[in-house]
Amino acid sequence: MHLEILRMREGRRERITDSLTEEGTFTIYVGDVELVSMLCTPRDIKELSVGFLFSSGIIDSFSEIQENVINEKSSTVHIELRNPRMIYTPGCGKGVMLDTKVESIEKIESKMKIPAQRILSLVAEFQGQSIEFKKTGSVHSACFSDGERILVSKEDIGRQNAIDKIIGEALINDLNMEKMILITSGRVSTEIVHKALRARIPVIVSRSAPTFQAVKICREKNVTLIGFARGKRMNLYSSEERIV
């Protein structure tokens, strides 16, 4: 969206037309249950809702969804599952959490190998693709790569939403996420690692920093975690044997 604003630079004042990113709130219903309201970039809502249901442990595959009705006007998504089940929602206001405890998630066994230089060139390509970021200086982006090229790429004002969107698209198009590298513009906190583990992704690459707890889980679960991947440098926090 465009707005006229006032830019001040080196003491000069200038009226310019600026491009701003949009935000919206979407509420996801599964059957009759109001699952969650999320603040997001109001695009790719189908991918977002499918990815969110998967990340939250409510579905294991896209085929479990019978209907996914998006109503932009009322900002709602109504999802019907093929086999309706009880949905576990924790206490009010807690948000929906993974229904699987991290401790019970199996270690990642992937034998993937990828050259360090390839990671850096994928990050450079990824960065070059973020159109919305270039326009507005806002939004996060996330993509999947098979180590050769970027296959799925999405943007959102929320770090986590961008990742749910690419997971959603991977599920819809039946991509094998066990063979994917996840690249994200945002910081890597435990929530991001949980989503990646749920999707069995062996390598997470971020342009930004991870938290201590995120690194700890990646070391336990044999996920390769790379941070500050920019230009000609990156930090390897865990399972570095996949990077050759």
Terminal alpha carbon distance of the chain:
44
C-beta atoms surrounding 80 within 10 Å: 13
Q: Angle between the 190-198 and 212-221 helix axes, to the nearest 10 degrees?
A: 20
Residue 19 identity: S
143 to 182: interface string for a copy of itself, x by CB under 8 A: --------------x-------------------------
Could you write out the DSSP letters of every residue in 101-153? -GGGSPPP-----B-HHHHHHHHHHHHHH-HHHHHHS--EEEEEE-SSSEEEE
Member of 64, 125, 146, 191 binding a copy of itself (CB under 8 A): 191
Q: Are strands 2-9 and 33-40 parallel, antiparallel or unpaired?
A: unpaired
Binding residues with a copy of itself: total (CB under 8 A): 56
Please tell me whether residue 203 adopts helix, strand or coil conformation.
Answer: strand
Binding segment toward a copy of itself, per CB under 8 A, in 65-73, 77-85, 196-204, 207-215: 207-215
Residue 236 binds a copy of itself, judged by CB under 8 A = yes
- By beta-carbon proximity to a copy of itself, the closer residue of 40 and 177 is 40
Residue 7 binds a copy of itself, judged by CB under 8 A = yes
- What is the DSSP secondary structure assignment for residue 46, as one 8-state letter? H
Any bridge partners for residue 65, and if so which?
A: 81
Member of 83, 92, 109, 148 binding a copy of itself (CB under 8 A): 92
Member of 73, 111, 149, 233 binding a copy of itself (CB under 8 A): 233
> CA angle, corner 41, sides to 39 and 46, nearest 5?
95
Residue 93 binds a copy of itself, judged by CB under 8 A = yes
Residue 91 binds a copy of itself, judged by CB under 8 A = yes
Binding segment toward a copy of itself, per CB under 8 A, in 29-37, 67-75, 147-155, 170-178: 29-37
Place of tokens 């790379």: 226
Residue 9 binds a copy of itself, judged by CB under 8 A = yes
> Among 67, 88, 63, 89, which Cα is nearest to 78's?
67
Q: Which residues are catalytic?
A: 92
Residues contributing to the site for a copy of itself (CB under 8 A) = 1, 3, 5-11, 18, 20-24, 27, 34-37, 39, 89-96, 116-117, 136-138, 157, 187, 189-191, 208-215, 228, 232-237, 240, 243
